[in-house]
Structure 1
Amino acid sequence: MSSSDAVWLPQDNITGCGWHYTDLSQHVRGQGSTVEAFVASPLTVEALSVCEPLLQAKSLHFSNIWFKTDNQVLLNALLSKDNSSRVCRIHPDIETLA
């Protein structure tokens, strides 16, 4: 399971994301963080908080991962089959990695 969170400084267009992975026994199996510049919207921040952990999970050779989110806009965009989704345009890596 992956838990992630992000903070956005809109006046500076900068975001920071942090995450960790746990197994079913709640043991931490990995963690990471990143800072991104030129982030212009809250949806982009939320998309990055999914994409970055997915990229690291791939490098760690994780084959299954669960994400939890409280962002309904992000969730609907990710579950949508519409390729014009704002999230897909923001970060096509999410769909590829998922």
Structure 2
Amino acid sequence: MVLDPSEIFCNTDASWSHTSKEAGLAWIFTNGSATEIFRGSIKQSAVSSPCMGEALAIREALLQAATNHYSIICIRTDSQVLAQAITSRRKTTELYGILSDIDELAFSSSSPFINCRFTYISRANNGPADGLAKACLVTQPVVNPNQNSV
């Protein structure tokens, strides 16, 4: 596979609290030279599971990528199950709404992306996004889940 030199990479992660049902969502964009070009995070309430948090982080990353006019993007997640669900376009009951949003953003005819792909990255190689998500969970005020964050 030949990579497009204009492809933007985005590592995503979420940190979830079982007791508060809140999640810190994080995304870090880099170019093909692995130079960071943008990062963001947000704290979300009413998150039902760690996998839901990971999916929410991916959706937020896609919204940020569209806002920043990144048209060729590779989303990298340390959730192998989620990466497989997105690429196979299978929607689980718990994640149906979020996966539908991701599918629409990434693969529909109205997608803002020329090319959008999703890959699994090991947790060991996702440290910066993991640290950003954990810091966000501890320090940021919570966002209403019914309010669009972008």
Please give the alpha-carbon distance, in whole angstroms, between the structure 1 residues aligned to 2:55 and 2:63: 12
Please give the alpha-carbon distance, in whole angstroms, between the structure 1 residues aligned to 2:41 and 2:83: 22
Higher relative contact order (CA 8 A, sep 6+): 2
Matches within 5 A, 1:67-82: 67-82=75-90
Question: CA distance change for structure 1 residues 42 and 93 in 2, over 3 Å: closer, same or farther?
Answer: same
Match 1:33 to one of 24, 27, 41: 41
CA RMSD of aligned residues (A): 1.6
Where does the alignment leave 5 or more consecutive residues of structure 1 unmatched?
Answer: none
Post-superposition Cα deviations, 1:61-84, rounded to whole Å, max 9, x if no partner, equal 1101112223221122112244xx
* TM-score, scaled to structure 2: 0.59
Q: Which amino acid aligns with 1:89?
A: Y
Please give the alpha-carbon distance, in whole angstroms, between the structure 2 residues aligned to 1:88 and 1:37: 16
Where does the alignment leave 5 or more consecutive residues of structure 2 unmatched?
Answer: 1-8, 107-150
Post-superposition Cα deviations, 1:35-83, rounded to whole Å, max 9, x if no partner, equal 110001122011012111111000011101112223221122112244x
Secondary structure of residue in 2 paired with 1:18: strand
Matches within 5 A, 1:74-93: 74-82=82-90, 85-86=91-92, 89-91=96-98, 92-93=100-101
Q: Which amino acid aligns with 1:53?
A: A
Please give the alpha-carbon distance, in whole angstroms, between the structure 2 residues aligned to 1:44 and 1:81: 16
Identical columns (%):
35
Question: What does residue 13 of structure 1 align with?
Answer: 21
Greater Rg by CA: 2
Q: Which amino acid aligns with 2:14?
A: A
* TM-score, scaled to structure 1: 0.87
1:88 is displaced (CA, Å) by 5.5
